[in-house]
Amino acid sequence: MAGILDSVNQRTQLVGQNRLELLLFKLGTRQRYGINVFKVKEVLQCPTLTAMPKRHPFIRGIAHIRGNTISVIDMSLATGGRAIQDIENCFIVIAEYNRSTQGFLVSSVERIVNVNWESIQPPPSGSGRASYLTAVTEIEKELVEILDVEKILDEINPVSTEVSEDVIDENVAQANTGRAIMIADDSSVARNQIKRALSPLGMEIHLARDGKEALEQLRELAKQHSPLHDWMPVLISDIEMPEMDGYTLTAELRNDPDLNKLHIILHTSLSGVFNEAMVSKVGANNFIPKFNPDELAEAVQQAVEAAL
């Protein structure tokens, strides 16, 4: 297991090709789950965990790793299953999400697989609001579930979506009346967080669950509003999304004469291993790690002001 992520820095060539690599793991059952390798910093045999008083029930304890103290979340408990047993024979997947590092306790880690985002589909419609999935895919004729880690983290430590009063420029907000913005993100939690944070800007907000849906919506909206960027100056897009990732979406928009003037902000939890060169390569205007409502609102205001 020590060498499973040794070549992670060599995997950046997949970015922008609508491909990704998933680290497969299990939570004590036959069901396989996946997490994007670009979010993973390390995989370790579970060390001794220290219990904390008044800890969240999903947190099994804290681990002291390389001089850092990391909370360890039982991914089975966090998704409605039973607590993982035999911890000393389990693993911790150390990953960076939303500007912080967490440890995810899993019962076993299998291998890394290379997949195309087009083969990753949104979860079944019948999964309901209680579902912890952002996507599913099939690998070797078995279903692999990709968890909504942002939802899990928000349940443990809810993120504030309040924008500071001094951030909102009332003149800009008034000028925004009648304008719109689009948010593309496969996590319902993330979409709602962004929507709440940007509501004070006074813009009509359109939502898309992935890059493909966003592109289809934008092309339809461009038929109703010409030029589109006068009415909808800004798109905020996640990078990791089923069917079409944010990099591919950006490249598609830049190649479309009706959509290529949109101001594109890539907004992602891929902060720890993000390849800055990809922003300019695909033509995005900005990159903001999740989730800071003030920073996001300021970036949108600046983009809107520039478009006035």
Identify whether residues 149 and 73 lie together within a single domain.
yes
CATH of the domain at 22: 2.40.50.180
Identify whether residues 57 and 109 lie together within a single domain.
yes
Asked if pLDDT for residue 103 goes beyond 60, the answer is: yes
Residue 161, in any domain of the structure? no
Across 127-228, the runs of DSSP E, i.e. the strands, are 133-139, 142-147, 180-184, 204-208
Domain that holds residue 134: 8-155
Q: Which of 121, 155, 189 is the last residue of a domain?
A: 155
CATH of the domain at 213: 3.40.50.2300
Q: In sequence order, which residues have a C-beta less than 8 Å from that of residue 81 and are 6 or more positions away?
A: 27, 28, 29
Most confident of 1-15, 67-81, 279-293: 67-81
Q: What is the pTM of this model?
A: 0.80
41-89 per-position pLDDT tens digit: 889 999 999 988 888 999 999 999 888 899 999 999 999 899 999 998 9
CA 231 to chain centre: 27
Answer for the pair 106, 86: CB distance below 8 angstroms, yes or no.
Answer: no
- Cβ atoms within 10 Å, residue 69: 10
- Two tokens at 132? 């912890």
Identify whether residues 209 and 102 lie together within a single domain.
no
Measured between alpha carbons, how far is 80 from 82 in angstroms, rounded to an integer?
Answer: 7
| Number of domains comprising the chain | 2
Identify whether residues 115 and 189 lie together within a single domain.
no
Q: Between β-strands 100-106 and 108-116, what pairing exists: parallel, antiparallel or unpaired?
A: unpaired
- Two tokens at 38? 């670009």
Identify whether residues 174 and 281 lie together within a single domain.
yes
Residue 2, in any domain of the structure? no
